[in-house]
Structure 1
């Protein structure tokens, strides 16, 4: 059964597995939840190793309270930090998927002494600006600015409701427009058949970030879900690699 804490009146749900070493934290994607294949598989891997592990739902996601449309990148980063700080003040290894990749970059940038390793999966930094806003035509932009929201078709179910606040607040959390230091062992994972995050985005992130130990792995034919058995094993190996590189 999920545990909860409350931040700004919103209950945030999470599953914490006690164990040794840095806390491995899985950060999920946009309108995703902590019961996804990658999060659950990585939790099973952590339990088998006796590794401390955390998966969580941001506000408006999964089992957490709040409305999805009320959230923003900064809000969801702060939700993640609230749960992390509730569980530990010790070292972290972050595993960020899609939007969670962006959030993990923000946390690593802001807490370089606490984050000891980073693995991103189809990381989607700055997607509110380079994805949604850049793709909107003038009519959509006008609707967004005048009514506060616009509906965008989704391949994963009901249309996404994109709010003006998501776009405008997202501009305060962009990571590809300023220096991005990743001082810990970092592994970027990306599928070549990803229809949501391009290989070009992964290459841009690798080129833009600065760090002593960064590697990008491209998986031929893998899509945005990155959830088949080969991809799941690659995620596990990558987490193991950053743990070892960090000396833990």
Structure 2
């Protein structure tokens, strides 16, 4: 059953919480995805089978939460995640960040490192608005964003187009994690498919080179795509969580 968290910013976040032992697992979804996705539901079922605490939720403007997607930005969604972590979980958690969720996880790690037991990045996409999305637009698209405030672009995963706003890009510049020191004082496991059309393998390599971390490892999976949701990929994620909890 869906429950709702009222945030200090006046947003209403939909979530599913599973009671269990710690360290719990918090799933952080991707850009314009929601908590009903394959990875989130699979990990919840796995956590229940293990008797482990688990939380999945929708950022504002996503899924069943309040707000509209076009009004949001990385900073808002990171605030949502911080409130969910602070108010719905106890003790250090294992953050599993998928795509944009990997960026959100790194922002949480920078803000409240003592609440992070470990981090699993699945096709993690830190700084993507600045480093890949904006450069990937045409000159005409960038001009339209600057002049009109937003554009719509095709979504490669379903029929709903992405709305990209000037606010999204301007806020993204203030949330960057790969341009200033990034201390991750806990184990980190990164997973990346070689056929990922959204996040290049150079991204996790850059993160490894940039961050200060006592135990950071990257697994490259041949022929896996950005969804990283095949049975074998899903088992890799749970194996990483298990390794971080042992």
Q: CA deviation at 1:11?
A: 1.4
Q: CA deviation at 1:212?
A: 0.3
SS class of match (2:190) = strand
Q: Aligned partners of 1:211 and 1:170: how far apart in 2?
A: 24
Q: CA deviation at 1:9?
A: 2.7
Q: What is residue 4 of structure 1 aligned with on the other side?
A: 4
Q: CA deviation at 1:10?
A: 2.2
**Residues 41-65 of structure 1: per-residue CA shift (max 9 Å, x gap):** 1111111111010000000101111
Q: What is residue 48 of structure 2 aligned with on the other side?
A: 47
Q: CA deviation at 1:23?
A: 1.9
Q: What is residue 219 of structure 2 aligned with on the other side?
A: 217
> Bigger CA drift: 199-208 or 165-174?
199-208
- Aligned residue pairs total 244
Q: What is residue 61 of structure 2 aligned with on the other side?
A: 60
SS class of match (2:114) = coil
SS class of match (1:44) = helix
Q: What is residue 92 of structure 1 aligned with on the other side?
A: 93
> Bigger CA drift: 174-183 or 136-145?
136-145
**Residues 164-193 of structure 1: per-residue CA shift (max 9 Å, x gap):** 000000100001111111110100010011
RMSD of aligned Cα (Å): 1.0
1:33 maps to 2:29: no
Q: What is residue 111 of structure 1 aligned with on the other side?
A: 112
Structure 2, gaps ≥5 residues long: none
Q: Aligned partners of 2:106 and 2:245: how far apart in 1?
A: 17
Question: Which residues of 2 match residues 121-200 of structure 1 at below 5 A?
Answer: 121-157=122-158, 158-200=160-202
Q: Aligned partners of 1:214 and 1:146: how far apart in 2?
A: 42
> Bigger CA drift: 170-179 or 81-90?
81-90
Q: What is residue 235 of structure 1 aligned with on the other side?
A: 237
Q: CA deviation at 1:29?
A: 0.2
Q: Aligned partners of 1:9 and 1:87: how far apart in 2?
A: 17
SS class of match (1:154) = coil
SS class of match (1:80) = helix
Structure 1, gaps ≥5 residues long: none
Q: CA deviation at 1:89?
A: 4.0
1:73 maps to 2:89: no
Q: CA deviation at 1:154?
A: 1.6
> Bigger CA drift: 134-143 or 179-188?
134-143
Q: Aligned partners of 1:114 and 1:57: how far apart in 2?
A: 20
Q: CA deviation at 1:130?
A: 1.0
Q: CA deviation at 1:88?
A: 2.5
Q: Aligned partners of 2:49 and 2:90: how far apart in 1?
A: 23
SS class of match (2:113) = coil
Q: Aligned partners of 1:109 and 1:240: how far apart in 2?
A: 23
